[in-house]
C-alpha cells in the first residue's frame, strides 16, 4: 500500500495495474490464513490473550493462523515487519529516483511541501520498522524476558518513530488539502526547450483552473446569495458550488490570500450596507440588518463591520438618516 501510494503521488497513476497484484499478494496470504481465526469464539480469544500476558512464551505455541503449521513462529512475526520495511525502502528508492528526474516539477510544482511530507513519512516509518524488527528478534532471543521489556534504547527509538508519524501532519497541515493534479508527462522528452514549454503549459493549466474557481465563486455568491445562509462555511459552499473543498481551501489560501470567512463576510457587509443605504436602518434595528445579512449575532456583525469598514455600522448608518 505504501509503495503504491508513493508511486501514485509521484506519477499520478491512481489506478491499479495487473503488476500491482504482486505487491498485495503477501497481505492477501496473511488475510486468508488468519481468516478462520475470525470464527473462533470470543471467550477462547480472551483466554489466549490472558495466557499470552501471563506468559509471553505462549506466543511460540499458539497457532493464530494457518501459516503457523508451515512457517516458524519467529518468521511469521518478522515477516510482516520485514515486508513493511521492504516497501518503505522501495518507496524511498522510488522517491529518490524521481527527484533526480527533470519531470519531477510535474508533481511538485507549487506543492513543495509534498517533498518534505514524503521525507518525514518515509523517514519515521523506516525508524519505526527497523526498531520493531530488532525488538522482535531481541525478544525471541531473550525468550520474552521481563528484563527486555524494561526501558531500553530500542523502545525509545520505536516510540520516537511512532510519535513522529502521528504528529507530522501538524507540521505539514497542507497535506490534508491536496492539490489539483496536472496532466501526466512523457518521460521520453528530455530536450530542455520541450521541458520548458511543457512546464509553461502545466502552469497555464493550473492558472486556468484557479481562474475558473475565482470566477465561479464570485458569480455564485452574487447570483445565489449563499452568504445570507447562517451556516455558510467552506464545506457548505463547496457542496453548493460543486468544487472540492481542498481545492477551494488551496485557492483561498494560496491565490486569494484570504480566509473563506473573510471572503463571505465581505459579501455580508456589502449586503448590509446596501440595506442601510435603502433606508432600512430607519425601519428596523441594526441587529435585524445584521441578521438579514447572514450574521448569527449582533456582536459578530459589529466586529466584522468594523474590521472591514473601519467604523461601526451605527456610525455608517448615521450618514443616511
pLDDT tens digit at each of 321 positions of the chain? 555 555 555 554 445 555 555 566 666 776 776 777 777 788 888 887 888 777 767 766 777 777 777 777 777 778 878 888 888 888 888 888 877 776 555 555 556 667 777 888 888 889 988 888 888 887 777 766 665 566 578 778 888 888 888 887 777 766 665 544 444 444 444 455 554 555 444 444 467 778 888 888 989 888 889 899 888 888 899 888 888 888 888 888 888 888 999 999 999 999 999 998 888 888 888 889 889 989 888 888 899 898 888 888 888 888 876
What is the Cα–Cα distance from 54 to 33, expressed in whole angstroms? 26
Whether residue 145 is contained in a domain is answered as yes
CA 17, 23, 24: angle at the middle one, nearest 5? 95
The pLDDT score that the predictor gives to residue 54 is 79
Based on the domain organization, do 118 and 203 belong to the same domain? no
User: What's the domain count of the chain?
Assistant: 2
Whether residue 227 is contained in a domain is answered as yes
CA 245, 249, 251: angle at the middle one, nearest 5? 115
What is the Cα–Cα distance from 237 to 259, expressed in whole angstroms? 13
Q: Which domain holds residue 281?
A: 194-318
Based on the domain organization, do 203 and 170 belong to the same domain? no
Q: Is the dihedral of CA 28, 96, 89, 174 positive or negative?
A: negative
The pLDDT score that the predictor gives to residue 267 is 92
Q: Is the dihedral of CA 296, 298, 302, 305 positive or negative?
A: positive
Based on the domain organization, do 116 and 198 belong to the same domain? no
Based on the domain organization, do 134 and 244 belong to the same domain? no
Q: Please state whether the predicted TM-score (pTM) of the whole model is above 0.75.
A: no
CA nearest to 207, candidates 251, 171, 270: 251
Whether residue 278 is contained in a domain is answered as yes
Based on the domain organization, do 95 and 156 belong to the same domain? yes
The cell for 185 is 508527462
Whether residue 94 is contained in a domain is answered as yes
Whether residue 184 is contained in a domain is answered as no
What is the Cα–Cα distance from 158 to 129, expressed in whole angstroms? 8
The pLDDT score that the predictor gives to residue 180 is 44
Based on the domain organization, do 146 and 277 belong to the same domain? no
Based on the domain organization, do 153 and 16 belong to the same domain? yes
Q: In this structure, are residues 290 and 281 in contact, taking their beta carbons and an 8 Å threshold?
A: no
The pLDDT score that the predictor gives to residue 19 is 54
DSSP assignment of 274-291 equals HHHHTTGGGTS-HHHHHH
The pLDDT score that the predictor gives to residue 189 is 44
The pLDDT score that the predictor gives to residue 159 is 84
Whether residue 182 is contained in a domain is answered as no
Domain boundary among 176, 210, 232: 176
Based on the domain organization, do 124 and 211 belong to the same domain? no
The CB density around residue 231, as the number of other CB atoms within 10 Å, is 8
Amino acid at each position: 500500500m505504501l509503495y503504491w501510494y508513493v508511486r501514485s503521488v509521484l506519477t499520478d497513476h491512481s489506478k491499479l495495474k495487473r503488476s500491482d497484484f504482486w505487491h498485495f499478494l503477501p497481505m492477501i496470504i496473511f488475510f486468508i490464513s488468519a481468516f478462520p481465526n475470525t470464527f473462533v469464539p470470543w471467550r477462547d480469544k480472551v483466554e489466549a490473550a490472558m495466557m499470552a500476558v501471563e506468559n509471553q512464551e505462549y506466543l511460540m505455541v499458539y497457532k493464530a493462523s494457518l501459516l503457523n503449521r508451515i512457517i516458524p513462529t519467529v518468521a511469521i512475526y518478522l515477516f510482516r515487519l520485514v515486508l513493511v520495511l521492504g516497501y518503505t525502502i522501495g518507496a524511498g528508492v522510488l522517491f529518490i529516483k524521481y527527484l533526480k528526474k527533470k519531470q519531477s516539477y510535474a508533481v511538485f510544482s507549487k506543492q513543495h511541501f509534498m517533498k518534505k511530507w514524503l521525507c518525514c513519512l518515509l523517514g519515521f516509518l523506516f525508524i519505526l520498522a527497523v526498531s520493531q524488527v530488532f525488538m522482535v528478534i531481541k525478544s525471541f532471543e531473550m525468550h520474552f524476558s521481563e528484563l527486555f521489556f524494561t526501558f531500553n534504547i530500542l523502545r525509545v527509538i520505536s516510540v520516537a518513530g511512532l510519535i513522529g508519524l502521528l504528529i507530522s501532519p501538524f507540521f505539514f497541515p497542507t497535506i490534508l488539502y491536496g492539490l489539483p493534479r496536472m496532466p501526466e508527462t512523457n518521460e521520453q522528452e528530455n530536450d530542455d526547450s520541450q521541458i520548458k514549454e511543457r512546464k509553461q503549459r502545466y502552469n497555464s493549466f493550473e492558472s486556468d483552473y484557479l481562474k475558473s474557481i475565482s470566477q465561479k465563486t464570485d458569480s455564485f455568491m452574487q447570483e445565489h446569495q449563499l452568504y445570507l445562509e447562517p451556516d455558510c462555511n467552506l464545506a457548505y459552499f463547496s457542496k453548493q458550488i460543486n468544487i472540492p473543498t481542498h481545492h477551494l481551501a488551496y485557492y483561498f489560501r494560496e491565490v486569494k490570500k484570504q480566509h473563506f470567512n473573510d471572503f463571505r463576510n465581505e459579501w455580508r457587509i456589502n449586503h448590509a450596507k446596501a440595506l442601510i443605504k435603502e433606508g432600512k436602518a430607519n425601519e428596523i434595528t441594526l441587529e435585524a440588518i445584521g441578521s438579514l445579512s447572514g450574521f448569527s449575532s449582533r456582536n459578530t456583525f459589529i466586529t466584522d463591520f468594523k474590521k472591514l469598514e473601519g467604523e461601526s455600522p451605527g456610525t455608517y448608518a448615521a450618514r443616511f438618516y
